[in-house]
């Protein structure tokens, strides 16, 4: 007499099937106006170029095609509307702004205003 073995489904694999991976950042704004940030803090995650990097902010594209804006130094976040100075040679910029044009285009820009350096110090030795 053969014993029939049935495979049971794992509830853990079904329950977590629709969840995203833990290391993928969610889309949206992480830091808003007048918030203090540190170097390499994540400011924004976006798919299209709705927001552009400004002063002391750099853009990084991850493996999923998302644009990450990160702070380049410690300071305070300031979001402004400025004329976009775009590099027309990049293929992602060409795809995004092909029908809009490159002249006189105002976009929201993320800037990080650096903190003032302290002028107080202790003189250890004078040589």
CATH number of 24-114: 2.40.50.100
Q: Is the pTM of this model over 0.75?
A: no
- Per-domain residue ranges of the chain: 24-114
Secondary structure of the chain as H, E, C letters = CCCCCCCCCCHHHHHCCCCCCCCCCCCEECCCCCCEECCCCEEEEECCCCEEECCCEEEEECCCCCEEEEECCCEEEEEEEEECCCCCCCHHHHHHCCCCCCCCCEEEEEEEEECCCCCCCCCCCCC
Query: Tell me, what's the pLDDT at 82?
Result: 92
Question: pLDDT tens digits, residue range 27-74?
Answer: 899 999 999 999 999 999 998 888 999 999 999 988 888 899 999 999
């Amino acid at each position: 007499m053969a014993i029939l073995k049935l495979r049971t489904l794992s509830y853990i694999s079904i329950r977590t099937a629709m969840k995203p991976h833990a290391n993928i950042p969610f889309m949206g704004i992480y830091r808003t106006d007048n918030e203090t940030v540190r170097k390499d803090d994540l400011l924004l995650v976006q798919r299209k170029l709705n927001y552009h990097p400004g002063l002391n902010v750099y853009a990084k594209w991850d493996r999923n095609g998302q644009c990450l804006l990160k702070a380049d130094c410690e300071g305070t976040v300031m979001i402004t509307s400025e004329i976009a100075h775009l590099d027309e040679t990049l293929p992602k910029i060409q795809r995004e702004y092909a029908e809009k044009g490159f002249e006189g285009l105002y976009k929201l820009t993320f800037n990080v205003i650096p903190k003032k350096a302290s002028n107080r110090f202790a003189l250890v030795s004078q040589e």
